């Protein structure tokens, strides 16, 4: 705390709690952040400056008078998270951090206003808050971020600030308890999770209890998934190496049919990720024709946009896709290393971020922030216009 006071003397109002937390997260010291928030509850209220912390209900003298963890020991604890322990091998794991329900009003996109990275978290590993090939991502209505941590066979849950909340291992029910490698995740209107791997679709509660299981034809390629709020149907992408399709299910597991035969592309399409807009239209990234397909809610072709290349309106192996509350389309342009935004008709609006290392999946929060998974460097980033 003496060091923090000295920093505040030098930096004044620029020495905010948010800056401190972001610096600790950037230095991969998430456990230190968690420890501070547990020791000083005032931090959970997000005071603007250390001056506010000093005048909070818990005075600085009282805080300094308590026995504090040795920072060296905290680093040691952090490093030990990579090793199997009773804490990091359980089915469901909890943190003391609990998300607060935030205002879900959608912020309008401000044309010309640049997007900035608010936070980046994660790195390679198996401990909490680390990833091994993070793929799909979804955000619930109360701003919980769900990451499909494929290589670690689990779903990890975070706040929008990148603070770890909990996790659960993705397994099938029954005696075998088969462990699944999740490729993508979606949230339905009841805040249940739909997770797809290469052989199954599983509906879990937000705590990780298996509710519904659907078997898929094993096609050997990673799948994407979404849940249509308009029809309450589950839509999964499928590719067998030659032909692609969308497989559609009711939430009880019964199959509705397959969509996408009329995609109107010169080459057989490779549907990668899928989303649904507010009108029920289905949008699909095509990794073979380097474009975006838009279908109506019955799966009939409406239009497509994009082509192979590196210009604003072109793609190279587009992957994740989502639609914000205003109908704007957000696409992870994988090989071009960027995330782009288009209007509902496919006209380019702006870059959300560039110079990325293989952006994979994208989603948008209720408040309009964009969350991106980065497959190559095992991280997640959150982007905002604030």
Residue 43 in any domain: the answer is no
pLDDT, residue 10, reads 66
Residue 254 in any domain: the answer is yes
pLDDT, residue 95, reads 44
CA dist 238 and 258 (Å) reads 10
Please say whether the dihedral angle defined by the alpha carbons of residues 230, 232, 237 and 238, taken in this order, is positive or negative.
Answer: negative
Which of 257, 292, 318 terminates a domain? The answer is: 318
Which of 269, 292, 318 terminates a domain? The answer is: 318
Residue 265: which residues within 8 A CB-CB, separation 6 or more?
A: 286, 288, 289, 291, 293, 304
* Structural domain count, the chain: 2
The list of the chain residues with pLDDT below 50 reads 46-49, 54-106
Six-digit token pair at 316? Answer: 């190279």
Residues 27 and 135 in one domain: no
Residue 227 in any domain: the answer is yes
pLDDT tens per residue across span 215-271: 998 787 889 999 999 899 999 999 988 889 999 999 999 999 999 887 777 788 999
Residues 145 and 20 in one domain: no
Residue 281 in any domain: the answer is yes
Which of 318, 338, 365 terminates a domain? The answer is: 318
Residue 330 in any domain: the answer is no
Q: What is the pTM of this model?
A: 0.72
CATH number at residue 141: 2.120.10.30
Residues 20 and 165 in one domain: no
Residues 148 and 281 in one domain: yes
pLDDT, residue 70, reads 36
Closest CA to 22 of 157, 98, 120: 120
Residue 355 in any domain: the answer is no
Residue 174 in any domain: the answer is yes
Residue indicated by tokens 């309008």: 108
pLDDT, residue 357, reads 86
Residues 143 and 275 in one domain: yes
pLDDT, residue 44, reads 57
CA dist 66 and 292 (Å) reads 57
Residue 336 in any domain: the answer is no
Domain that holds residue 297: 130-318
Residues 135 and 3 in one domain: no
Residues 186 and 298 in one domain: yes
């Amino acid at each position: 705390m003496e060091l923090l006071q000295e920093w505040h003397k030098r930096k004044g109002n620029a020495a905010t709690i948010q800056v401190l937390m972001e610096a600790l997260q950037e230095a991969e010291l998430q456990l230190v952040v968690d420890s501070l928030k547990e020791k000083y509850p005032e931090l959970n209220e997000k005071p603007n400056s250390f001056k506010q912390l000093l005048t909070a209900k818990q005075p600085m003298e009282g805080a300094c008078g308590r026995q504090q963890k040795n920072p060296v020991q905290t680093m040691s604890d952090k490093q030990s998270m990579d090793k199997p322990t009773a804490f990091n091998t359980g089915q469901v794991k909890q943190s003391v951090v609990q998300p607060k329900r935030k205002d879900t009003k959608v912020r309008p996109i401000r044309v010309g206003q640049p997007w900035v990275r608010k936070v980046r978290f994660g790195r390679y590993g198996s401990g909490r808050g680390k990833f091994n090939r993070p793929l799909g991502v979804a955000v619930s209505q109360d701003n919980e971020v769900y990451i499909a941590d494929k290589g670690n066979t689990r779903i990890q849950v975070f706040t929008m600030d990148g603070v770890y909340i909990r996790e659960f291992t993705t397994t099938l029910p029954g005696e075998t308890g088969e462990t699944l490698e999740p490729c993508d995740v979606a949230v339905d209107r009841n805040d249940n999770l739909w997770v797809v791997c290469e052989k199954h679709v599983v509906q879990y509660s937000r705590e990780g209890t298996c509710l519904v299981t659907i078997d898929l034809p094993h096609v050997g390629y990673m799948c994407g998934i979404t849940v249509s709020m308009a029809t309450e149907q589950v839509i999964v992408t499928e590719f067998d190496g030659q032909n692609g399709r969308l497989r559609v299910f009711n939430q009880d597991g019964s199959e509705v049919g397959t969509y996408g035969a009329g995609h109107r592309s010169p080459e057989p399409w490779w549907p990668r990720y899928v989303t649904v807009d507010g009108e029920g239209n289905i949008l699909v990234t095509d990794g073979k024709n380097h474009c975006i397909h838009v279908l109506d809610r019955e799966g009939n072709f409406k239009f497509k946009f994009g082509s192979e290349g590196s210009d604003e309106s072109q793609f190279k192996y587009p992957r994740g896709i989502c639609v914000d509350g205003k109908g704007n389309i957000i696409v992870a342009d994988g090989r071009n290393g960027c995330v782009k935004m288009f209007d509902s008709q496919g006209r380019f609006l702006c870059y959300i971020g560039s110079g990325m290392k293989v952006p994979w999946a994208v989603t948008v929060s209720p408040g309009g922030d964009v969350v991106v998974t980065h497959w190559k460097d095992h991280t997640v980033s959150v982007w905002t216009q604030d």
